[in-house]
Amino acid sequence: MCGIIAYIGDEDAAPILLEGLRRLEYRGYDSAGIITIDNAGEFELKKDVGRVQDIHNELNLLDLEGHIGIAHTRWATHGGVTQANAHPHVSNNSKIAVIHNGIVENYKDLKSLLVSKGFHFDSQTDTEVIPNLIEYWMDSKGLSFIDSTIKTLQSLEGNFAVVIIDRDSRTIVGAKNGSPLVLGVGDRKKNEFFLASDIPAFLDRTKDVVYLYDGDMVILQSESSSPRATMKGSYKILDFRARTKKPIIRPIQSVSWSLAHAAKGEFDHFMLKEIAEQVETIQKAAAQDRELVQSVTESIRNAKGVFLVASGSSYHACLSASYLFAKLASFHINTVIASEFSQYESFLKPETLVIAVSQSGETIDVLDAVKTAKEKGCHIVSIVNVMGSSLTQISHKTLLLNSGPEISVLSTKTYTAQLALLSLLAYSLAGRYEEGLSKLKFLWNIVYNLTAATTRTKIKELSTTLANHEHIFVLGRGSLYATALEAALKIKEVSYIHAEAFAGGELKHGPIAMIKKGTPIVIFVSKDTEKTILSNAMEVKSRGGYIIGIGPEPIESFDFFIKVPESNSLNPICQIIPIQILAYQLAVILGHDPDKPRNLAKSVTVR
């Protein structure tokens, strides 16, 4: 998932853009670059492959002059990881520069058209067609920069977010269609505005934001084209898909996130900080507007078919919740991986309810699933952490996780927040809302102890033992089977150790063949699954497996035990926390960056 940051205002752009890039590093990237309009009215461009700090050390990004600029961190899709493929990309006449997230699906056709008109291309990217197409419309057809940009945007197929800068008019344009882009309204005395793919990029400068919708095109312009004039910025929003250029009014909203939420503070890594924050974030997730929860509850109760749709960790939260809905409320909910949801299209009716769960609200598979459901007339409820995200914009109702920014690529605090909120809905559907709320509040003390330094120290002993193993297996039953799936995902995401999860009853149906002397097996235990899961533990023990037990009481067959007090229906929230810590410590011991695991991005915004 690429990162975008743009600035226009009275201050020097380069320091602001560089800091924005640093704040976007958690999204994952392989190259980065900045372009500004200098004091002579010319473009200054610096870009390269590698990490932002390494590029800065080599090129000194702060040398870039000017008060207007755009910057980007790229995650390669079209074209390899090369300096030429890094963003920004500039038009043939060096007057238009572009940064871009997403994919231009018809870029080959557009590129062929431009080549036939005499344009040349310096990169292998789909992005480079955008500035050259704008140049084509301006020079060949005599259109203005804005009209040429509109024509270009209308010709692009696929999901994208783009930021375009015109050197001559000193104008920045941002537009979105299925990929995240938000406008930051800065200090009016400094005439400053920001565009970014994520709010933390400019959170140190302003909390006032305008959430852009699909089809929105925001224009940021200096009132004077003189390079040395004091800029007095303004902005205007249009619908680039419309036939007219009638301005659109979008409200300015203030985000509750603070800079402290987006900073590591005393912790070595964001992942560890966000694990510790679960003491608060589980409570915040449960602190919902009761009327809204009751409204969603009625939508569930009255629907003819309910689907929970999500990807990755969010899917595991949904799978866990499906057990809880069945157990507490005797209610069946279909749980579907978002990328497979189209296979269920024939079951979708106007009376169907789809609950889409996503941390970012920008996951392309989830958005595609919701769009499919809306085409069938389904009612959409979203559970999401980012207010104003694409998912919230296409949902009928939204429940926010209230977790604050999650910077580490791995989902930790938002996973347990999703579990907390889904659990509250299950209790509400069972007519036991107050009981559910009370139980969630009671978790505070358990989670505090699980994230404390003493627990982390104990688990560090375990991580030292496991770090040299190539395989780790995880077992659970009932809702703790979903916890096992999430545990295995956490371990392999960040430590790169192969981890695989099974329902306890499936062990003897094949997986037990992989058990040999010393094979680590993590087993989740609760009071209601103790008898059956412990029979699985004995099967493993008899074959020489090394058993790590997580549950309320130590068992003789355990080689290592992590105590997690019994929380009954809320066990999945608490029992995953020790594995989050274990995954983190394995990564550190093995020399991996837990905040930026290889090949992964915070959210998957391209197919």
Determine the pLDDT at residue 225. 45
Residues 236 and 272 in one domain: no
Q: Is the pLDDT of residue 246 over 60?
A: yes
Determine the pLDDT at residue 224. 46
Q: Which amino acid is at 449?
A: N
Residues 489 and 580 in one domain: yes
Structure confidence by residue, pLDDT tens digits, 460-491: 999 999 999 999 999 998 889 999 999 999 99
Determine the pLDDT at residue 607. 57
Lowest mean pLDDT among 127-131, 170-174, 601-605: 601-605
Mean predicted confidence (pLDDT) in 488-501: 95
Mean predicted confidence (pLDDT) in 484-502: 95
Out of 2, 318, 378, 574, the active site residue is 2
HEC secondary structure over 292-307: HHHHHHHHHHHCCCEE
Q: What is the CATH number of the domain that holds 475?
A: 3.40.50.10490
Residue 260 banded pLDDT, cuts 50, 70, 90: low
Residues 565 and 457 in one domain: yes
Domain boundary among 451, 470, 499: 451
Enclosing domain of residue 311: 263-451
Q: Collect all residues with Cβ–Cβ distance below 8 Å to 531 and sequence separation of at least 6.
A: none
Determine the pLDDT at residue 571. 96
Out of 46, 176, 596, 602, the active site residue is 602
Residues 309 and 396 in one domain: yes
- Distance (Å) of CA 184 to CA 189, 214, 254: 15, 17, 10
Of 528 and 124, the one with more pLDDT: 124
Say how many domains are in the chain. 3
Residues 347 and 215 in one domain: no
- % pLDDT > 70, the chain: 95
Of 74 and 77, the one with more pLDDT: 74
Q: Is the pLDDT of residue 432 over 90?
A: yes
| Segments in 361-519 forming alpha helices (H) | 364-375, 390-393, 413-429, 433-450, 453-466, 479-495
Q: Is the pLDDT of residue 82 over 80?
A: yes
Residues 267 and 249 in one domain: no
- Order of all β-strands in the sheet with 397-400: 334-337, 306-310, 353-358, 379-384, 397-400
Residues 526 and 488 in one domain: yes
Active site residue 2: yes
Structure confidence by residue, pLDDT tens digits, 516-551: 888 899 999 998 887 787 777 778 777 888 999 999
* Nearest-angstrom CA–CA distance, 342 and 336: 10
Determine the pLDDT at residue 216. 95
Determine the pLDDT at residue 344. 93
Q: How many helices (H) and strands (E) does the chain have?
A: 17, 24
Determine the pLDDT at residue 330. 96
Residues 163 and 179 in one domain: yes
Q: What is the CATH number of the domain that holds 157?
A: 3.60.20.10
Of 600 and 522, the one with more pLDDT: 522
Q: Where are the beta strands (DSSP E) in 147-273?
A: 160-166, 171-177, 182-185, 193-196, 208-211, 216-221, 234-239, 253-254
Residue 262 banded pLDDT, cuts 50, 70, 90: low
Count the alpha carbons within 13 Å of 217 in the hemisphere toward its beta carbon. Answer: 23
Provide Rg for the chain, Cα atoms: 25
Structure confidence by residue, pLDDT tens digits, 5-16: 999 999 999 999
Domain boundary among 388, 420, 451: 451
Count the alpha carbons within 13 Å of 58 in the hemisphere toward its beta carbon. Answer: 12
Mean predicted confidence (pLDDT) in 548-577: 93
Mean predicted confidence (pLDDT) in 409-413: 92
- % pLDDT > 90, the chain: 72
Q: Is the pLDDT of residue 361 over 80?
A: yes
Q: Is the pLDDT of residue 234 over 90?
A: no
Residues 344 and 458 in one domain: no
Structure confidence by residue, pLDDT tens digits, 88-122: 999 999 999 999 998 899 999 999 999 999 999 99
Residues 496 and 438 in one domain: no
Q: What is the pTM of this model?
A: 0.80
Q: Is the pLDDT of residue 329 over 90?
A: yes
Residues 468 and 437 in one domain: no
Report whether 206 contacts 162 (CB < 8 A).
Answer: no
Active site residue 318: no
Residues 209 and 85 in one domain: yes
| Segments in 142-180 forming alpha helices (H) | 145-155
Residue 23 banded pLDDT, cuts 50, 70, 90: confident
Structure confidence by residue, pLDDT tens digits, 181-200: 999 999 888 889 999 998 88
* Nearest-angstrom CA–CA distance, 591 and 607: 31
Mean predicted confidence (pLDDT) in 256-282: 81
Q: Collect all residues with Cβ–Cβ distance below 8 Å to 493 and sequence separation of at least 6.
A: 409, 410, 583, 597, 600
Domain boundary among 216, 231, 255: 255
